[in-house]
Amino acid sequence: MAQLVAEWSLQAKCAGSKDALFVEGAKQRDARQVCAGCDVRRECLAEALDNRIEWGIWGGMTERERRQLLRSRTDVASWKAMLVGAE
């Protein structure tokens, strides 16, 4: 069974180097730099937030930062709609 890949992910700066974004501790700071200036950063972050992905750097945010954002914004039903806009 083929795995579906989000179209936006093919345009990501990290395409082909995703293992570098799944690090722990101080290495996360360096991994976040990969996201700087990425054209699909908002789509990436929305994917992680909407799907409650708990590992890795997504959209320039660490797991801890995403958890904090989710706790502080329980009113958001769709991060994709909020960050990217309705399609």
Helix or strand or coil: residue 61?
strand
Q: In whole angstroms, what separates CA 31 from the centre of its chain?
A: 12
Counting beta carbons within 10 angstroms of the beta carbon of residue 13, is it exposed (0 to 12), middle (13 to 18) or buried (19 or more)? middle
Tell whether 85 is in a known binding site.
no
Tell whether 28 is in a known binding site.
no
Tell whether 11 is in a known binding site.
no
Tell whether 52 is in a known binding site.
no
- Binding residue ranges: 14, 35, 38, 44
- Binding residue ranges for [4Fe-4S] cluster: 14, 35, 38, 44
